[in-house]
Structure 1
Amino acid sequence: MRGFAGLTLVLAGGVAILLKWKKRLLGRKRLRVIGVIPARFQSARFPGKPLVSILGKPMVVHTWEQACKATTLQKVVVATDDERIASACRKAGAEVVMTSSECPNGTVRCHEAVTKLPGDYDVVINIQGDEPLIEPEIIDDTVRALQNSPDCVYSTACTPLDHERVEQRTRVKCILDRHGHAIYFSRGVLPANKDGAVRPFPAPFQQQPYLLHLGLACFDRAFLAEYCRMAPTPLMLMEDLEQLKVLENGYKIKVIVVEHNAHGVDEPEDVAVIEQKMREEGLT
């Protein structure tokens, strides 16, 4: 009985925290938005990836240029700990915030960058530097999704994923509830079935697609600070996906589904694919 009473107190405490956040969010409009592009030179699979040349221009600069076209952002900055990246971005005209080399991930780097800037922002959107073809309209729609969802602390975007790519571990998949909230993210096949096959959804849901998570993470600013104080969670560590810590702590993530034909640059061979798409879309 003593153990049960202790568990009841813990659960009650968790519910109280969530209710506090919901009350706080419902009273705020979250109008001022900053876009942050975290960029680090070191990468296990692709060292120096932000500076890889795509049609003669560093990839991170392409991403910054796309982000600057978004109409919901009052400011766009690049956050890095590497002077080579900083120099390339400044040369292109980007504002750069130098951050610690000890940042464990892009989310913490975004938080540190915003704390070093003047201004009081309500929303921080983490725009992955390896998405040089991200459409500014998708950035805007992701921001508005959070602004229009007062019970959520985070929003992001997904796009339909071809069946032949579902098993690729570099592609992060997502599943949603019937209200557009994230249920789970995984590098594995998601959703899976008992025979492990990738196939159309069963009747009457054959038009339901597998969903690829895009490199956008839009945070309520106050929650971002809270998120960075939270301890790592089991599923976050198992999947190596930062957004799972949001779900594991009981918070809601709003997801929009968009049409986005280009994926990010995960490996060197992706560069040629991106260059071809840029030529096709006249983004040279």
Structure 2
Amino acid sequence: MLRTWERAKLATTLDHIVVATDDERIAECCRGFGSDVVMTSESCRNGTERCHEALQKLDKKYDVVVNIQGDEPLIEPEIIDGIVRSLQLAPDAVFSTAVTSLKPEDAFDPNRVKCVVDNQGYAIYFSRGLIPYSKSGKVNPQFPYMLHLGIQSYDAKFLKIYPELQPTPLQLEEDLEQLKVLENGYKMKVIKVDHEAHGVDVPEDVEKIENLMREQNLS
């Protein structure tokens, strides 16, 4: 969490950085290194709902809210700034996020969420399965598959609406909060970035991240 917070502080578009959590142990740790913390309820079903609750508890009003997952310690500040600016420049979108190239070895990993976009840069669909899926059942080495990164920004007005929307079939089937946005007809802007995705999804990822941070002198 500390490393993710430090990376977020380097972004130029963020006015205020807070950690939203329902775990007092995480909160105590974050206060220890100087972060503002907002305690949220255990009933939040995903990060978007947690961001909504945190926003309601903050005194200041914001136009854009960014959800940076705590398990992305190598997130680039430029990506944070990129999704904020892309949302600001797309008045018909209520949500923005980022994708990068999918590695062939991650093609069938359900923890690596895939994304397809239209030719205007708006999301069409997200899936834990490989999309698009070749009828051969194999990964096409020539196709530019895209991996969703664990970061997204929302128009603050839409963030208030999101919890009021009923769960949707695709959202429930894939367990992906972004799909509720798309199923309800809202637009989501997607930027493509060149980034090595190193989220912490399983215990084995921790050692990989620590080794990479040592290589990059970030530890």
- 1:251 equivalent in alignment to 2:192: no
Deviation at 1:262, TM superposition (A): 3.2
The 5 A counterparts of 1:24-39 are none
The 5 A counterparts of 1:97-246 are 97-201=38-142, 208-246=143-181
Distance in 2, Cα, partners of 1:102 & 1:246: 20
Deviation at 1:233, TM superposition (A): 0.3
1:64 aligns to what?
Answer: 5
Distance in 2, Cα, partners of 1:171 & 1:104: 19
- Whether the 8 Å contact between 2:97 and 2:188 is mirrored in structure 1 is yes
- Whether the 8 Å contact between 2:134 and 2:140 is mirrored in structure 1 is no
Q: Could you tell me the TM-score, scaled by structure 2's length?
A: 0.98
Distance in 2, Cα, partners of 1:195 & 1:63: 39
- 1:260 equivalent in alignment to 2:201: no
CA root-mean-square deviation? 0.9
Distance in 1, Cα, partners of 2:82 & 2:98: 9
Opposite residue 120 of structure 1, the aligned amino acid is K
Distance in 1, Cα, partners of 2:43 & 2:163: 13
- Whether the 8 Å contact between 1:63 and 1:134 is mirrored in structure 2 is yes
Can you list the C-alpha shifts for 1:131-188, whole angstroms capped at 9, x where unaligned?
Answer: 0110111000011010111110000000001112111111000001111111100000
Deviation at 1:213, TM superposition (A): 0.2
1:57 aligns to what?
Answer: none
- Whether the 8 Å contact between 2:96 and 2:152 is mirrored in structure 1 is yes
- 1:279 equivalent in alignment to 2:214: yes
Structure whose alpha-carbon radius of gyration is higher: 1
- Whether the 8 Å contact between 2:96 and 2:190 is mirrored in structure 1 is yes
1:31 aligns to what?
Answer: none
Distance in 2, Cα, partners of 1:155 & 1:106: 14
Distance in 2, Cα, partners of 1:107 & 1:176: 21
| Corresponding residue SS for 1:157 | strand
Deviation at 1:200, TM superposition (A): 2.9
Indicate the larger mover: 100-109 or 227-236. 100-109
Distance in 1, Cα, partners of 2:179 & 2:103: 23
Distance in 1, Cα, partners of 2:170 & 2:28: 37
Distance in 2, Cα, partners of 1:209 & 1:68: 32
Can you list the C-alpha shifts for 1:177-236, whole angstroms capped at 9, x where unaligned?
Answer: 1111111000001110212110134xxxxxx51111000121000001111110000000
- Whether the 8 Å contact between 1:262 and 1:274 is mirrored in structure 2 is no
Q: Could you tell me the TM-score, scaled by structure 1's length?
A: 0.76
Runs of 4 or more off by more than 2 Å in structure 1? none
- Whether the 8 Å contact between 2:44 and 2:50 is mirrored in structure 1 is yes
- Whether the 8 Å contact between 1:125 and 1:216 is mirrored in structure 2 is yes
Distance in 2, Cα, partners of 1:183 & 1:174: 8
Residue segments in structure 2 that go unaligned for 5+ positions in a row: none
| Corresponding residue SS for 2:167 | coil
- Whether the 8 Å contact between 1:262 and 1:277 is mirrored in structure 2 is no
Matched pairs, number: 219
Distance in 2, Cα, partners of 1:190 & 1:102: 31
Identity over aligned pairs, percent: 62
Residue segments in structure 1 that go unaligned for 5+ positions in a row: 1-59, 202-207
